A = this chain, B = another copy of it.
Amino acid sequence: MGAPVLVINSGSSSIKYQLVDGETMEASTSGLIERIGQSDSVLTHRHAGERAVREGRLADYGEGLEAMVAAFEDAGTPLADAGLIAVAHRVVHGGERFVQPVVVDDEVERAIDELSALAPLHNPANLEGIRTARKLFPKLPQVAVFDTAFHATVPERAHLYAVPSAWREEHGVRRYGFHGTSHAYVSRKAAEMLGKSPKAVNVIVAHLGNGASVTAVERGRSIDTSMGLTPLEGLVMGTRSGDIDPAIVFHMHRQTGASFADLDAALNKESGMLALSGHQDNRAIERAAAAGDRAAQVALEIYCYRIRKYIGSYIAALGGADAIAFTAGIGENSAEVRAQALSSLVALGVDLDEAANAAGGPVISTPQSPITVMVIPTNEEGEIASQTAALLRS
């Protein structure tokens, strides 16, 4: 391995990890620790086609990461011998300050902590992972890579909301955008597939996973993205509403007396595809729709219609696009979602090749299509490792 990086993605009760080469962006090992803090924690470790599972309580992130170290040892590839150049952490919110990856010190830790006001669900968990890893690997640089950073180039016309100035100036209210490492990676790959420099093309990336966002990438730079201050805005997602009339919040409070916390939870956790179809997982929704379930059919129609409208608006924002790239769980795997999202876009320069789409691409538009449409598997951990290696080289 050229530049082995341990990439850590800490959630509220889980840790995902990968050992990735920062040069080739390939992972040799990956793992998932779930239900941290509960009695039935599970660690699943994958290496060279082998899968090892460890069950039993892991009280906290510290015990979780120690179990990870043990799992590497048990697999015969101890981390101590891996030649790690760094531990890299995915951090959701970098605010206006962190527009590049950064080596973590106490001051950076404090800044990430302060940014928890903008991402109360995510940054505290990310920070806990960082703190724990700093103790466990005191000699290695710990690098924070931010989901928001790729969108630091979004100009005022797209990142400012028309809300009172105090909200913008004192309370950090602006569009930040998320899924940045995925949009960065996929838009670069799309340019590569076109045989062009990223600086020579305009690409629209649709990242469709449990969370979902679309980004307009102009000559390598993000100029607009559908998520906003938080990951709630934009496309319909598994459990998030995406775009709504903000007055719905006031209306529902008047109607039911629901509190801010109730409404926040409802829009983030009980809305989206779950609210429309009863299912959160796209595979279940497609199965139900195929079996004739009308709610599931309508949910898919709404889901795809919203993607289609964002594509149209970003073609307008970019003044024309060279490529549209689909990525993440749904974008990579659902030919049906891609086809519906791209239907009736001929007037905008999208000519879908139905057979290629059904086959999964990578190119799913016809050779004559003015806009090339692609399916590109994302690699967020690879991108994080690569950015980390680049930072440490510089």
A388 within 8 A of B: no
**A248 and B246 contact, CB distance less than 8 A:** yes
**B167 and A252 contact, CB distance less than 8 A:** yes
Chain A 216-231 per-residue mask, 1 if CB under 8 angstroms from chain B, else 0: 0000000000011110
Q: How far is the CB of A202 from chain B (nearest CB, A)?
A: 10
**A298 and B157 contact, CB distance less than 8 A:** yes
A175 nearest in chain B by CB position: B245
CA distance A148 to B76 in the complex (A): 68
- What 8 pairs across the A-B complex have the smallest Cβ distances? A312-B316, A319-B344, A320-B347, A228-B245, A233-B245, A309-B313, A230-B247, A313-B313
Picked from B230, B250, B298, the residue with its CB within 8 Å of the CB of A160 is B298
Residues of B within 8 A of A243 (CB): 243
Could you write out 17 A-B pairs with CB less than 8 Å apart?
Answer: A117-B255, A118-B251, A156-B302, A157-B302, A160-B302, A162-B241, A171-B251, A229-B247, A233-B247, A246-B249, A253-B260, A254-B260, A308-B316, A312-B312, A313-B313, A316-B344, A320-B347
Q: How far is the CB of A308 from chain B (nearest CB, A)?
A: 5
A391 within 8 A of B: no
Copies in the complex: 2
Picked from B164, B253, B255, B344, the residue with its CB within 8 Å of the CB of A270 is B164
Chain A 338-352 per-residue mask, 1 if CB under 8 angstroms from chain B, else 0: 000001111111000
Query: How many of chain A's residues touch chain B, expressed as a range?
Result: 35 or more
A275 within 8 A of B: yes
Instruction: Tell me the residues in window 11-58 of chain A with beta carbons closer than 8 Å to chain B beta carbons.
Output: none
Other CB < 8 Å A-B pairs besides A162-B273, A163-B267, 13 of them? A161-B244, A162-B242, A162-B271, A173-B251, A227-B245, A243-B243, A244-B246, A247-B264, A249-B249, A250-B264, A253-B260, A315-B347, A319-B344
Residues of B within 8 A of A240 (CB): 162
**A161 and B248 contact, CB distance less than 8 A:** yes
Residues of B within 8 A of A171 (CB): 251-252, 255-256
A267 nearest in chain B by CB position: B246
Residues of B within 8 A of A302 (CB): 156-157, 160, 162
Chain A 347-376 per-residue mask, 1 if CB under 8 angstroms from chain B, else 0: 111000000000000000000000000000
Residues of B within 8 A of A248 (CB): 161, 163, 167, 173, 228-229, 246
A66 within 8 A of B: no
**B313 and A310 contact, CB distance less than 8 A:** yes
Picked from B233, B245, B305, B346, the residue with its CB within 8 Å of the CB of A232 is B245
A224 nearest in chain B by CB position: B309
Residues of B within 8 A of A120 (CB): 254
Q: How far is the CB of A271 from chain B (nearest CB, A)?
A: 5
Q: How far is the CB of A151 from chain B (nearest CB, A)?
A: 13
**B276 and A160 contact, CB distance less than 8 A:** yes
Q: How far is the CB of A179 from chain B (nearest CB, A)?
A: 15
CA distance A254 to B301 in the complex (A): 35
A394 within 8 A of B: no
Residues of B within 8 A of A165 (CB): 275
**A232 and B247 contact, CB distance less than 8 A:** yes
Residues of B within 8 A of A5 (CB): none
CA distance A243 to B247 in the complex (A): 10
A311 within 8 A of B: yes
Residues of B within 8 A of A316 (CB): 308-309, 311-313, 315, 344-345, 348
A266 within 8 A of B: yes
**B241 and A246 contact, CB distance less than 8 A:** yes
